[in-house]
Chains A and B, each alone.
Chain A
Amino acid sequence: DVKVTQSSRYLVKRTGEKVFLECVQDMDHENMFWYRQDPGLGLRLIYFSYDVKMKEKGDIPEGYSVSREKKERFSLILESASTNQTSMYLCASMIQGDQPQHFGDGTRLSIL
């Protein structure tokens, strides 16, 4: 089974802080994704990475950046956290383009 691990289940940060969300997968998958999920809006793609050091913007990249220094790890960075970034953040990995994605447990992030 694919194991995707997110560093925190719950996180509370303050406005203006730089926030790091970490995600690790153990299946040597090329592709990794960061989503946020909000009520009524569904899953929205923030960024994804298809190889080490490679990244591509998703639908809502503003206010976020990512880092993929190692294949197994994909980090999401909130450069200067704002209250509208309070959300559930989900990391996923996928082996190749026509395969399903597998998710971590999610991080519930609150920005105060």
Chain B
Amino acid sequence: RKEVEQDPGPFNVPEGATVAFNCTYSNSASQSFFWYRQDCRKEPKLLMSVYSSGNEDGRFTAQLNRASQYISLLIRDSKLSDSATYLCVVNRGGNNRKLIWGLGTSLAVNP
């Protein structure tokens, strides 16, 4: 089993749709969780950190479920510019500096 697993997609959605991605992780000691966005041939960019109580940033909502060891990302009112690969990232436990990267979920928002 991979340490971080994501559905690779692609998810094809129309503009304005709501789309959700899940990501499961295997290390129950992981303490830090992030969603990154990566555009084609570019570097990953931090989208949002994921906190225990869940958090929202505009159209984006992230949730953490420690019992089931998954994190989720919800995108509301999708824009064309949301088309990208979304990377789920967790740390290796405690304050471990090393991160474990998922392979990403590809999203295409269509007009």
Contact = CB atoms under 8 A, between A and B. Distances in A.
Contact of B101 (A31, A43, A96): A43
Interface string B12-56: 000000000000000000011010100001111110010000000
B106 to A, nearest CB: 12
B46 A98 contact: no
Contacts, number: 51
A42 B91 contact: no
Interface string B74-85: 000000000000
A98 B31 contact: yes
Given A97-B97, A98-B95, A40 B45 contact: no
A34 interface: no
B32 A98 contact: yes
Interface residues of B, number: 24
Given A103-B44, A103-B45, A105-B43, A58 B98 contact: yes
B103 A42 contact: yes
- If over half of B's interface residues share one DSSP class (helix, strand or loop), that class is named, otherwise mixed; here it is loop
A43 B43 contact: no
A104 B102 contact: no
B96 interface: yes
Interface of A: 31, 40-43, 45, 48, 50, 58, 88, 90, 94, 96-106, 108
Interface of B: 31-32, 34, 36, 41-46, 49, 87, 89, 91, 94-99, 101-104
For the complex of A and B, 6 pairs with smallest distance between CB atoms = A97-B95, A103-B43, A43-B101, A42-B103, A98-B32, A100-B46
Given A43-B101, A58-B98, 17 more contacts: A40-B103, A43-B87, A48-B97, A97-B94, A97-B95, A97-B96, A97-B97, A98-B32, A98-B91, A98-B95, A100-B34, A100-B46, A101-B99, A103-B45, A105-B43, A106-B42, A108-B41
